[in-house]
Amino acid sequence: MKKTAIIVAGGSGTRMGADLPKQFLKIEGKPVFLYSIDAFIEAYNDIRIILVMPSTYADLAQSILEEFGYPSTIEIVEGGETRFHSVKNGLAMVSEDSLIFVHDAVRCLATPDLIRRSGLAASAMGSAIPVIPVKDSIRRKDETSSCSAVVQREGLYIVQTPQVFLGSVILPAFALPYDAGFTDEASVLEASGQQVNLVEGEEGNTKITFPDDLVFAAWKLSLRKHN
């Protein structure tokens, strides 16, 4: 089966306080989004990679790919107004007979093992969404008062990427009109009436959002290099 990774790099990086979007910030001299590409290339040597970028940064992304010697086969697609529209633009390039991985470019710590495990699960079940259990205590606050209540964390999970799907499953789902409740691909799949299948994620598969996240990612990557 053909395999395609749609790596979404649409963030503005405003919470990082940087001049460039966070996907372009560097860890040991290398932009964050390249580490995500590396994981997929290591997982599958025959995978097609589609990079979804804001149009204003497409030329920069292309020059970085060339500078670091990445294959010329990596395609850059223009992002959309929301994540839904960005992913839809990427999906427009893919056929139904594909296994499709949708991944946040700034989750640069996802491992090839997670990618392969999720791919195998999606091949068998149609979809595979990596999750980790919620460990902290959770409370829901009443926005109209100072009252709050405990939310039982049993059965609650934090959703990660890559979210993996058979093309025949996810492409029809993205024919739905946009809804503000579409926070990820799994929510689109669920809205189409199809089942969302969960797989075990990775504790270290964090998303670069704040400056401290960049420090943590650099530390984790250095540990992997020396192990």
Residues in the chain: 227
Q: What is the pLDDT of residues 13-59, one digit of tens each?
A: 555 556 789 999 999 999 999 999 999 999 999 999 999 999 999 99
Mean pLDDT of the chain: 94
pLDDT beyond 70 at 12 = no
3-class state of residue 79 by DSSP: coil
Q: What is the pLDDT of residues 82-125, one digit of tens each?
A: 999 999 999 999 999 999 999 999 999 999 999 999 999 999 99
| Architecture of domain 2-129+159-226 in this structure | Alpha-Beta Complex (3.90)
Q: Which of 153, 120, 151, 115 lies closest to 37, judged by CA? A: 115
- What pLDDT, on a 0 to 100 scale, did the predictor assign at position 105? 97
- Mean per-residue pLDDT, 170-197: 97
Half-sphere exposure of 102 (CA within 13 A, CB side): 29
> Over the range 125-136, which residues count as b (16 or more CB within 10 Å of their CB) and which as e?
bbbbbbbeeeee
Rounded-to-integer distance, Cα 4 and Cα 38, Å? 14
Domain coordinates in residue numbering, the chain = 2-129+159-226
Q: Which amino acid is at 105?
A: A
Cβ-Cβ contacts under 8 Å for 188 (sequence gap 6 or more)? 84, 170, 173, 174, 176, 182
Residue ranges of the alpha helices (H) in the chain?
Answer: 32-43, 58-67, 83-91, 112-125, 167-173, 185-191, 211-226
